[in-house]
Amino acid sequence: MKTPDGQLSVTLNTGDQIPQLGLGVFKVDDDVCEQIVLDALEVGYRHIDTAMIYRNEAAVGRAIASSGIARDELFVTTKLWNSDQGATATPAALATSLELLGLEYVDLYLIHWPAPLRDEYVASWWALEEIHQQGLARAIGVSNFEPEHLERVLEEGSIVPAINQVELHPAFQQRKLRGFQEPLGIITEAWGPLGQGKYELSELPGLTEIAQAHGKSIQQIVLRWHLQEGVVVFPKTVRKERMIENLSVFDFELSPEEMTALAAMDADRRVGTHPMDGNW
């Protein structure tokens, strides 16, 4: 796909391109989501990440329809919720998502959580493989999967997930997981890339000084770090000015020394739900 000038993209194992920086709409109410997505598309975003459980797919679809942007210039992700997992429920769930989005296909469809107590994620993966072959999802992947969950999918399925979307931020860098999945061709995608406000980024040693050296905000430094790590990232914001700020990270680079300093900030500090506990 074509991305706006200066923006970066990553090649998935399908050969498709995913814009490396997008907009997430987690916890964005349906009644305001349409305008927020329109604002994002207006300032240059081409990658939108939503999910069935966010209950705003219809608003995302309305924004896409009224934006005037060609479908092949957009990358749209949605996700399968836990209660919709299973061989027969999964295709029905995607059909509902496509209807709400007003789209004939999504660019990426993810199993939202492994939900191990339900033990339906392998059956769901088989359904995703059929969905991919039918052209209803150009790429398929998973979210919040640990290595043990990925191993089962790899052993029992026939398609390697294109993406694993996981919690990832400077204090929780997922080095072990990334070391497992990335050599297999599974791209790492970060949710909560700025720590979801659950700790102060400014407290991380050296981060303020790096931001000052580049004349950028701390948040811009962290987003740039994600990009240079090869991670796909989609910070959430409802403010247009912050969207513009988050998108203004393609005009500078962090030095190898600065990247090393950021790597040293890893504290194995998870701030969200552990994948083994996401069994709602």
Digit-by-digit pLDDT tens for the chain (280 residues) are: 667 868 999 999 999 999 999 999 999 998 999 999 999 999 999 999 999 999 999 999 999 999 999 999 999 999 999 999 999 999 999 999 999 999 999 999 999 999 999 999 999 999 999 999 999 999 999 999 999 999 999 999 999 999 999 999 999 999 999 999 999 999 999 999 999 999 999 999 999 999 999 999 999 999 999 999 999 999 999 999 999 999 999 999 999 999 999 999 999 999 999 999 999 9
Let me know how long the chain is: 280
The 10s digit of each residue's pLDDT in 37-60 is 999 999 999 999 999 999 999 999
Residue with tokens 């191990």: 116
| Per-residue buried b or exposed e for 147-175, using 16+ beta carbons within 10 Å of the residue's own CB | eebbebbbeeeebbbbbbbbbbbbbbbbe
Angle at 49 between CA 48 and CA 52, to 5 degrees: 130
Q: Is 121 a catalytic residue?
A: no
Helix axis angle, 207-214 relative to 218-228, nearest 10°?
90
Q: Report yes or no: 193 and 233 within 8 Å, Cβ to Cβ.
A: yes
Phi, then psi, of 91 in degrees rounded to 5: -60, -35
Tokens standing for residue 214: 């580049």
Is this model's pTM higher than 0.85 or not? yes
Domains and CATH numbers, the chain: 17-200 (3.20.20.100)
Q: Report yes or no: 160 and 37 within 8 Å, Cβ to Cβ.
A: no
The 10s digit of each residue's pLDDT in 213-266 is 999 999 999 999 999 999 999 999 999 999 999 999 999 999 999 999 999 999
Q: Which of 45, 54, 109, 121 is catalytic?
A: 54
The stretches of 82-217 forming alpha helices (DSSP H) are: 89-101, 121-133, 147-156, 175-181, 207-214
H-run or E-run covering 106: strand 106-111
Q: Report yes or no: 77 and 140 within 8 Å, Cβ to Cβ.
A: no
